[in-house]
Chains A and B, each alone.
Chain A
Amino acid sequence: MIFLIILLPLIGAALNGLLFSCGLIKKDHESERRIVSIIGCGSILLAALVSTYLFIQLIQNDNPAGIIQNSFTWIASGELNISFGFLFDNISSVMTLVITWVGFLIHVYSIGYMHNDKSYARYFMYLNLFIFFMLVLVLGNNFPLMFVGWEGVGLASYLLIGFWYDDTQKANAGRKAFIVNRIGDFGFLIAIFLIFLVFGSLNFSDVFSQAANPTFMQNVPIIMITAIALLLFVGAVGKSAQFPLYVWLPDAMAGPTPVSALIHAATMVTAGVYMVTRCAVFFSASPEAQFVVVTIAVFTAFFAATIALSQTDIKKVLAYSTISQLGFMFMAVGIGAYAAGMFHLVTHAFFKALLFLGAGSVIHAMSDEQDIRKMGGLRKYLPITSKTFLIGALAISGLPLLSGFFSKDQILGELYERGFTIHFAVAIITALLTALYMMRLYFLTFEGKSRFSEGVMKKLHESPSTMTVPLIVLAVLSVLGGYVGVPDFIGEIFGMHHINAFKEFIWAAIPVEQHHAISGVHHFLNHWDLLVLSVVAGLLGIGLAYYFYIYRPKHLYKITRNEEFGFLYNASNSKWYMDEVYNHTFIRGFNEISKLSFLFDLNIIDGFINKLASVTAGLSNFISKFQFGLVRAYAAVMTAGLIVIIYILFATLD
């Protein structure tokens, strides 16, 4: 059954690719489009139904080991034995459901969004290919298979970012994503080697059961575990766009908007969170690694939120917001609250996909305009898009009772209860900034005065139903999705214990002791205070946005042009000059090294080969002189030689 989930998208990709993209069937456009959409969306829908069926079975059987399916031995070499096997347990089932269902909605949305594109079949082929690799990543039951999926989603992401490759800038954005990811993949690969060195196996169940076994771990130096955890995290930093490898994600917005929603918000970028959760044993065994993870995560969340405050491209705001929210997820998995991280992953997949699709709907309606300075007042023209976008924005801002509120509060609460007070303070400020930049985006786009031209206004229209229905479904999920995992501390306020079904479900599959709050430590804030604090942070952000962008827009203008704060605004607008810093250090440095190695190649390597060739040529020139072309002379030489041989024979005979 697990195979079916993985094979269906691959079959969809193969059919669309072979039949239409490679032109085996020549059809008129309209009917071709219809068949392509049916194959593309249908394969994902079937995969989603199969995974739902398996999920129900998993819950009914209540089997913590999950469903394992091994098909054949993939690599057998000495001690190394890797089977081509898949694992459907509590963690991967949640991921699979998100990938297939959100993926299906985005496929449906793409029918409307990509309707006028000339490479319609190619688009759906890539999208199905992405789902295939993502499922391999999530469902693989050993590290190499996970790595195959890991690289595969990188490939699909590259193909889709550079989908409109005739635009050089967009093609370059794809390459940037691929190259930056390569740095992270390098760390992941070394981590896999170290895991094999220590545990002698790459199978999840073997490795994790040994890593959870205290007698085995006595002989393993702690530094080794820290190294494995940190190298795995390097991989996660690349794929999940954390500081300092986040630079590819804003550029990845060059791809079609549904791609940004699916790959660069809902699924692929969360692969790092999944991987850290999967490898929980290594992180929980090394407090040093955990501290590094949570610190980088908090810094990334805050840093990206400050950039998101002043971006003017609707998709760039969402991209930095994604980086910031991924920071929240890593905070959670960094402190060992793996369920909280996974929970935020799920709710984020809902509302961030919703926001991206909403932005896509706006861009579609505005004839490919992405600058929010040229929008405003769109609420009248796009009623469904604006309402669903508002729900998404409020959910991510942490408005009480929406899904983002529950998942973010779970993370904030765990941060505080586990004693990361400074991190907690920064995270609260980041939550405030989140509400501020999200509502700023909403107000600038949908409220206030219209700032677009007459020509754009005439073409302005609400998107077709293939686009609005996914928006509505995702909006419903963004509202209700939080109730599967209401945080413990909220539950305890209302006297309900063990209310967090999601947490129990995830922890059942993690072979680590679940840490509870450190007992004996006096907490300055109690549950109520935490709740009030995070609600206030969210509401304050929303209020500030309203004040600056609706109530007193001129006030903001004064602040940003002010000498004291102006430079801060400029720095945020220019993304803290990180791209420039990278250009001047790494890229220029690398260019210098490339030039040196080019010279080395030209003079030393090529020089050696050329010298060798010229020596050989001289030698053969000399030898060819013996071929003087006179047949009679050859015969004479042969005869002379014969006589000499016969003479020697007779001489030795005696």
Chain B
Amino acid sequence: MEVTINHYILLSFLLFAIGCFGVITRKNLIIVLMSLELMLNAANLAFVSFSRFYNDNTGQIFMLMSLVFAACEVAVGLALVVSIYHNKKTINIDVLKLLKG
């Protein structure tokens, strides 16, 4: 079986959907962050696939950039999680609703 662009897109879609599902359903802030990471990587996969398909390097450059951002995000995000836990003694995302109108 030949692996075509469609397979990559399908995989990317599935990864994104799983990530999305995780963000919506999980209450633990760390797992939400991990799910977000999954969604980002799904997007990266789509970038690289299309880049290869169209023989255009732009997609790969974008993927590298988004990788860097993802790393930053994790660093900041985890620091925030630690800080939140220090203050609130919880990382249950449903409890943290300070901005409720």
Complex alpha-carbon distance, A623 and B93, angstroms: 23
CB < 8 Å neighbour of A632 from B24, B98, B99, B100: B24
User: How many residues of chain A are within 8 Å of chain B by beta carbon?
Assistant: 13
User: Please, how many angstroms separate the alpha-carbon atoms of A630 and B23 in the complex?
Assistant: 12
Contact A635 B101 (CB under 8 A): no
Contact B23 A629 (CB under 8 A): no
Q: Among residues 625 to 654 in chain A, which have CB atoms less than 8 Å away from a CB atom of chain B?
A: 625-632, 635-636, 639
Instruction: A632-B24, A632-B32, A639-B20 are known; give 17 further A-B pairs, CB within 8 A.
Output: A623-B101, A626-B101, A627-B100, A628-B101, A629-B97, A629-B100, A629-B101, A631-B32, A631-B93, A631-B96, A631-B97, A632-B23, A632-B25, A632-B26, A632-B93, A635-B20, A636-B24
Decide yes or no whether A624 CB sits under 8 A from chain B.
yes
Pick the residue among B23, B26, B98, B101 that contacts A625 (CB under 8 A).
Answer: B101
Does B94 count as interface, using CB distance less than 8 angstroms?
A: yes
**Residues of the B chain whose Cβ atoms lie less than 8 Å from the Cβ of A626:** 101
**5 contacting pairs across A/B (C-beta < 8 A):** A627-B101, A628-B97, A628-B101, A629-B98, A635-B20
Distance, CA A296 to CA B100, complexed state (A): 76
Minimum C-beta distance from A629 to chain B (A): 3
In whole angstroms, what is the CA distance A523 to B24 when docked?
Answer: 114
Write out, one digit per residue, whether chain A residues 241-282 have a CB within 8 A of any chain B CB (1) or not (0): 000000000000000000000000000000000000000000
Is B27 part of the binding interface, using a Cβ–Cβ cutoff of 8 Å?
Answer: yes
Bound: A639/B20 CA distance, A: 8
CB–CB A639/B24 < 8 A: yes
Q: How distant is the Cα of A629 from the Cα of B99 in the complex, in angstroms?
A: 6
Interface centre among B23, B27, B101 (most CB of A within 10 A): B101
Give the chain B neighbours of A630 by CB distance below 8 A: 93-94, 97
**Bound: A630/B25 CA distance, A:** 12
Within 8 A of A (CB), among B46-98: 93-94, 96-98
- Rounded to whole angstroms, the CA-CA distance of A334 and B25 in the bound complex is 97
- Among the listed B23, B26, B93, B100, which residue makes an inter-chain contact with A628, where contact means beta carbons less than 8 Å apart? B100
| Least Cβ–Cβ distance between A617 and chain B, in angstroms | 13
Residues of A within 8 Å of B20, CB to CB, are 635, 639
Point out the residues of chain B lying under 8 angstroms from A627, CB to CB: 99-101
Cβ contacts under 8 Å, A636 to chain B: 24
Q: Is the CB of B101 within 8 A of A632?
A: no
CB distance from B94 to the nearest CB of A (A): 6
Instruction: Please state if A635 and B97 are interface contacts (CB–CB under 8 Å).
Output: no
State A627–B99 Cα separation when bound (angstroms).
7
A-B CB proximity, top 5 nearest: A629-B97, A629-B100, A627-B101, A624-B101, A636-B24
Alpha-carbon gap, A188 to B89, bound state (A): 77
Inter-chain contacts of B26 with A (CB < 8 A): 632
Range of interface residues on chain B?
10 to 19
Greatest chain B CB density within 10 A among A625, A632, A636, A639 is at: A632
Instruction: Write the chain B residue with the least CB distance to A633.
Output: B24
A628 to B20, CA, bound (A): 20
Q: From residue B34, how far is it (CB to closest CB) to chain A in Å?
A: 14
User: How far, in whole Å, are A632 and B96 apart by their CA atoms in the complex?
Assistant: 11
List the A side residues contacting B94 at CB < 8 Å. Answer: 630, 632
Complex: how many Å from CA A628 to CA B98? 10
Query: Across the interface, do B97 and A632 meet the contact criterion of CB distance under 8 Å?
Result: no
Q: Which residues from chain B contact A624 at a C-beta distance below 8 Å? A: 101
Residues of A within 8 A of B23 (CB): 632, 635
Give the distance in Å from the alpha carbon of A417 to the alpha carbon of B99 in the complex: 93
Complex CA–CA separation, A5 to B23 (angstroms): 84
Q: How far is the CA of A630 from the CA of B97 in the complex (A)?
A: 6
Q: Residues of A contacting B98 with CB < 8 Å?
A: 629
Closest chain-B Cβ to A621's Cβ sits at a distance in Å of 9
CB nearest to B27 among chain A residues: A632
A635 CA to B93 CA in the complex, in Å? 12
Q: Cβ of B24: which chain A residues have Cβ within 8 Å of it?
A: 632, 635-636, 639
In the bound assembly, the distance between CA atoms of A627 and B100 in angstroms comes to: 5
Give bound CA distance, A232 to B44, whole Å.
Answer: 84
* Cα A623 to Cα B98 with chains together (Å): 17
Enumerate chain A residues within 8 angstroms of B32, measured Cβ to Cβ.
631-632
In angstroms, Cα B24 to Cα A639, docked, is 9
Of B20, B24, B96, most A-chain CB atoms within 10 Å: B24
Instruction: Please encode chain B, from 10 to 27, with 1 for each CB lying within 8 Å of some chain A CB and 0 for all others.
Output: 000000000010011111
Q: How far is the CA of A625 from the CA of B26 in the complex (A)?
A: 24
In angstroms, Cα B100 to Cα A625, docked, is: 8
Contacting residues, chain B, for A628 (C-beta < 8 A): 97, 100-101
Complex Cα distance, B24 from A632, in Å, reads: 5
Chain A neighbourhood of B27, CB < 8 A = 632
Chain B residue at minimal CB-CB distance from A631? B93
Cβ contacts under 8 Å, A635 to chain B = 20, 23-24
A639-B36 Cα distance, complex, nearest whole Å: 13
A626 to B100, CA, bound (A): 9
Closest Cβ of chain B to A624, distance in Å, is 3
Return chain A residues, CB-CB under 8 Å to B96: 631
What residues on B are CB-neighbors of A623 within 8 Å?
Answer: 101
Which residues of chain A are near B99, meaning CB under 8 Å?
627, 629
A632's nearest neighbour on chain B, judged by CB, is: B24
Residues of B within 8 A of A625 (CB): 101
User: In the complex, what distance in Å separates the CA atom of A623 from the CA atom of B101?
Assistant: 9
Q: Which residue of B lies closest to A642 (CB)?
A: B20
Q: A338 to B90, alpha carbons, bound, how many Å? A: 96
Q: Cα distance A113–B77 when bound, in Å?
A: 81
Cα–Cα distance between A632 and B20 once the two chains are bound (Å): 10
In the bound complex, residues from chain B placing their C-beta under 8 Å from that of A632 are 23-27, 32, 93-94
Q: How far is the CB of B39 from chain A (nearest CB, A)?
A: 10
A627, B6: Cα distance in complex, Å: 39
The smallest C-beta distance from A313 to any residue of chain B, in angstroms, reads 72
Distance of A627 Cα from B98 Cα, bound (Å): 10
Least CB distance from B99 to A in Å reads 6
- CB proximity of B61 to chain A, nearest CB, Å: 25
Bound complex: CA A631 to CA B24 (Å): 8
Question: Digit string of A33-63 for contact with B (CB within 8 Å is 1, else 0)?
Answer: 0000000000000000000000000000000
The complex places the Cα of A64 from the Cα of B24 at a distance, in Å, of 96
Q: How far is the CA of A92 from the CA of B100 in the complex (A)?
A: 76
Please, how many angstroms separate the alpha-carbon atoms of A624 and B94 in the complex?
A: 19
Question: Interface digits, B25-43 against A, CB 8 Å rule (1 contact, 0 not)?
Answer: 1110000100000000000
For the complex, give the distance between the alpha carbons of A628 and B101 in Å.
6
Closest Cβ–Cβ distance, residue B101 to chain A (whole Å): 3
Cβ distance B14 to chain A, nearest Cβ, rounded Å: 15
Q: How far is the CB of B84 from chain A (nearest CB, A)?
A: 12
A211 to B92 alpha-carbon distance, docked (Å): 90
**In the complex, what residues of B have CB within 8 A of residue A629's CB?**
97-101
